[in-house]
Structure 1
Amino acid sequence: MMRSSVSNCPVPTDQQPLNEYEELKTAWLFRDCTLNWREYITNIAWIWGYSWLVSGPVAAASFPPQKYIAHFFLCGTAGASLSVIFVLVRMYLGWRYIRDRLYSKTVFYEESGWYDGQTWVKPQEVLTRDRLIVTYEIKPILQRLQFTFAGLAGMYLIGTIVWHLF
């Protein structure tokens, strides 16, 4: 039933939203969003930890740990969090792009290059399938990323308050 509409699809295979979704789901960085919470947070913590390799020496140069341990720690933590934010923004933009492509009634595609773009209107069964994927697969991922951003914003707020106390 769905196969006939998809087989008549003029969109090149690698530009079909469903295939882009499947590819993103298995891509190195983006698959972290599909893991359970524990594995997801663990991977974010590893990114944060590796970021200390850069932010730690910068924070130590600004606030020697022997004299200003609290400021050193807060500055290093905030600096390391910037890498996490950049990674999360990249993941969010990738997943949002795929969400938009799946949710749209039309698909813009390129036949052989940037100069000959076309638009394909999805048949109703393909549109329904794609929107179900958005609702049950992609929305939870985007909500997880938004929740992570909110958690980081909360930690920055707490860090700012603690900074002013010292």
Structure 2
Amino acid sequence: MSASVCPVPPEQRPINEYQELQESWFFSWVTLEWHQYLRKLAWVWAWSWLVFGPVAAASFPPQTAIVPFFVSGAAGASLILTLVVIRLYLGWFYVRSRLIRASICYEESGWYDGQTWEKTPEFLAQDQLILSYQVQPLLKRLRRTFYGLALLVAVDGLTWICL
């Protein structure tokens, strides 16, 4: 991609934004193998207990109410995990929206000089391939993760109702 063909600054080109997310410490979690990805999410959930465990313990002493303690702590920890998954989804969805469009909005030197560039057929084809084979599967994984979290919270809620 030469600058004469594409006037968009390199850091604002969709393919470079994609590569930046792919190499990012946080956003690259989604690109890991399933077991590594789930391990990262479990790590976040476990660390979230540091915040919600004491809150749950203040409401439900673990010595006398272990199930309500665990259910409320798990719900709080799941909230943090849900926010993390939403953040991952939004980052990858932004790149998806940049790849799917036939034109790119960009700034040459600051917020006041926005421009739009129509992608050439070659750029559009390249972006569509990356979108189809790289980004869409990641978004699908994040949607599945979100559905799993929703199921976890639903089970947590049903357990709470059954208490």
Name whichever of 155-164 and 87-96 sits farther off. Answer: 155-164
Three-state SS of the structure 2 residue aligned to 1:65 is coil
Q: Which residue of 1 aligns with 2:54?
A: 57
List aligned pairs for 1:81-96, cutoff 5 A: 81-96=78-93
**Please, what is the CA RMSD of the aligned residues?**
1.0
Task: Flag structure 1 segments of 5+ consecutive residues without an equivalent.
Answer: none
How far apart, CA to CA, are the structure 2 residues paired with 1:20 and 1:136?
16
Q: Which residue of 1 aligns with 2:118?
A: 121
How far apart, CA to CA, are the structure 1 residues paired with 2:118 and 2:64?
65
**Out of 90, 99, 119, which is 2:96 matched to?**
99
How far apart, CA to CA, are the structure 1 residues paired with 2:4 and 2:130?
19
Correspondence 1:78 to 2:72: no
Percent of pairs with identical residues: 52
State the Cα deviation string for residues 106-158 of structure 1 (Å, max 9, x = none).
Answer: 00000111010000000001101101101110011001000011001111111
Three-state SS of the structure 2 residue aligned to 1:164 is helix
List aligned pairs for 1:19-30, cutoff 5 A: 19-30=16-27
Cα shift at 1:66: 1.3
State the Cα deviation string for residues 17-75 of structure 1 (Å, max 9, x = none).
Answer: 10010001011110000001000000000000111011100000011111111100000
How far apart, CA to CA, are the structure 1 residues paired with 2:130 and 2:9?
20
Cα shift at 1:83: 1.1
Correspondence 1:151 to 2:148: yes
Task: Flag structure 2 segments of 5+ consecutive residues without an equivalent.
Answer: none
Aligned partners of 2:100 and 2:128 also within 8 Å? yes
How far apart, CA to CA, are the structure 2 residues paired with 1:146 and 1:87?
13
TM-score, normalization by structure 1? 0.95
TM-score, normalization by structure 2? 0.97
Aligned partners of 2:78 and 2:153 also within 8 Å? no
Q: Which residue of 2 aligns with 1:131?
A: 128
Aligned residues: 163
Letter in 2 for 1:155: L
Q: Which residue of 1 aligns with 2:15?
A: 18
How far apart, CA to CA, are the structure 1 residues paired with 2:158 and 2:98?
41
How far apart, CA to CA, are the structure 1 residues paired with 2:152 and 2:78?
10
